[in-house]
Structure 1
């Protein structure tokens, strides 16, 4: 039904709004996901919903990644769930242990970045979760471990909404790159997956794209150019 409504509005909206990952698709998905996450938290928290936050601010940043760039390695379920919860736990731990908000916040964000990187669940909003929880635990409100529950409800509900909405609108999530079985070859030239890994290692930079997606893009580009070249020489 959602695909039908979007396709019916195609003639009334600019291509940037609906084509591929247009802003309209992401805006609708993100808004609905935040609403659903809040409602789920209210229901599950019950009488505690007045004492605990129903929605936490880092969830908004997670929604941008999940619905606007669902193919990003930073937007996958492992990162959304693991990155936020791990960082929140680090923030609460350091906030309680140190007691000084600014020092606890700085250490929490730094350690959260390291922990997310090592556990392969790097998620930028996780840094915000670490900061939020460190300030809450070290501040006058002295956040306890109960504050981890609404955060967990938020990220799980958002992930469920992301899975449903992204797949419904034609963007499989979790994302899996569609890489052909073998790389293209021409004039004795060929590359391997290991070659791509070696080039990325030489660059010594972290790119916000999965190596399998790079492989698929390169192969699709090669085939397009090769096809055009063959047509010109017939």
Structure 2
């Protein structure tokens, strides 16, 4: 009985210790609120008492945006955002930079066209948030490149792509790379639908296959360029982006009024009370199991 009680007590201590370690990683409050309003809006922060649609940037011409319907503003910034995001990536990849002169990258990885739809057209979508966008593209590029490197061990693989003739290895690689990319995104919580094309490109697009490992910095740089532009454009008007950086809810900040030490003390006191109750229950069970005389 004593061993059983000790085992139960040990099992209950584990969640408390786990909770304690996670809570230590959280900030007492959201320090983004210490920034000037003209700056904290570009981190996705809005005061708790504000709700959508939010106030635009308080300078002309953005201060006049409330005079037009919100849907027209959404259409306008979606067009400006997607146009500018694609243009920036193309310009940086095509000018005198390492991407053109050393990596010989294509003008743009086409899957970022689909990402632009999410980042500028449906900014509230969970799959459009930074973790999903950056993580999804990079992990898919990594998975697709790793798998394709195995297929490229067959020296004729690049020729199969260039000649566009049917060969089973290219089709098998495309399916494996895309499906495995999706699996990794699901396992890591970084699902971003356009990233499926990023993994597929690594397998079947000749110009991308020739990049080999250089595909990874190309995808990462393209992601960061588009994300920076999205953070700027999507916070000029009455929209807000990102809604969260890592996960919904107060991931990095303790809920208002929560005190870590007091909560931990209450958890430990609750465990002691339950242990005492179990001890009393065990005594009652032992007494009831004795034969009546």
**Cα separation, 1, equivalents of 2:96 and 2:122:** 29
1:94 aligned residue = 147
2:33 aligned residue = none
**Cα separation, 2, equivalents of 1:68 and 1:89:** 27
**Cα separation, 2, equivalents of 1:149 and 1:141:** 14
Q: 1:152 aligns with which of 216, 220, 223?
A: 220
Cα deviation, 1:97-139, whole Å, max 9, x if unaligned, reads 13422111101111111100111110001100000011147x8
1:3 aligned residue = 62
SS where residue 25 of structure 1 aligns?
helix
Q: 2:182 aligns with which of 98, 102, 113?
A: 113
Aligned residue runs from structure 1 range 174-185, under 5 A = 174-176=242-244
Residues 1:39 and 2:39 are matched in the alignment: no
Q: Confirm or deny: 8 A CA contact 2:148 2:209 kept in the other structure.
A: no
1:167 aligned residue = 235
Residues 1:132 and 2:201 are matched in the alignment: yes
Q: Confirm or deny: 8 A CA contact 1:40 1:153 kept in the other structure.
A: no
Q: 1:17 aligns with which of 49, 55, 72?
A: 72
Residues 1:67 and 2:67 are matched in the alignment: no
**Cα separation, 2, equivalents of 1:71 and 1:104:** 34
Shift of 1:23: 2.0
Cα deviation, 1:171-194, whole Å, max 9, x if unaligned, reads 222204799x9xxxxxxxxxxxxx
- Structure 1: gaps spanning 5 or more residues: 182-234
**Cα separation, 2, equivalents of 1:61 and 1:167:** 21
**Cα separation, 1, equivalents of 2:221 and 2:132:** 15
Q: 1:77 aligns with which of 121, 126, 130?
A: 130
1:103 aligned residue = 172
Give the alignment's TM-score, normalised by structure 1.
0.64
Alignment length (residue pairs): 173
**Cα separation, 1, equivalents of 2:213 and 2:202:** 10
Give the alignment's TM-score, normalised by structure 2.
0.52
Shift of 1:150: 2.0
Shift of 1:144: 1.2
SS where residue 71 of structure 1 aligns?
coil
Q: 1:143 aligns with which of 185, 189, 211?
A: 211
Give me the CA root mean square deviation. 2.9
Structure-2 change in CA distance of 1:142 and 1:178 (3 Å)? closer
SS where residue 105 of structure 2 aligns?
coil
SS where residue 167 of structure 1 aligns?
coil
Shift of 1:3: 1.8
- Structure 2: gaps spanning 5 or more residues: 1-59, 153-168, 256-293
**Cα separation, 1, equivalents of 2:238 and 2:178:** 35
Kindly indicate whether structure 1 or structure 2 has the higher relative contact order, using CA contacts under 8 Å at least 6 residues apart.
Answer: 2
Shift of 1:47: 4.8
- After TM superposition, the structure 1 stretch with the greater mean CA deviation from structure 2, 86-95 or 38-47, is 38-47
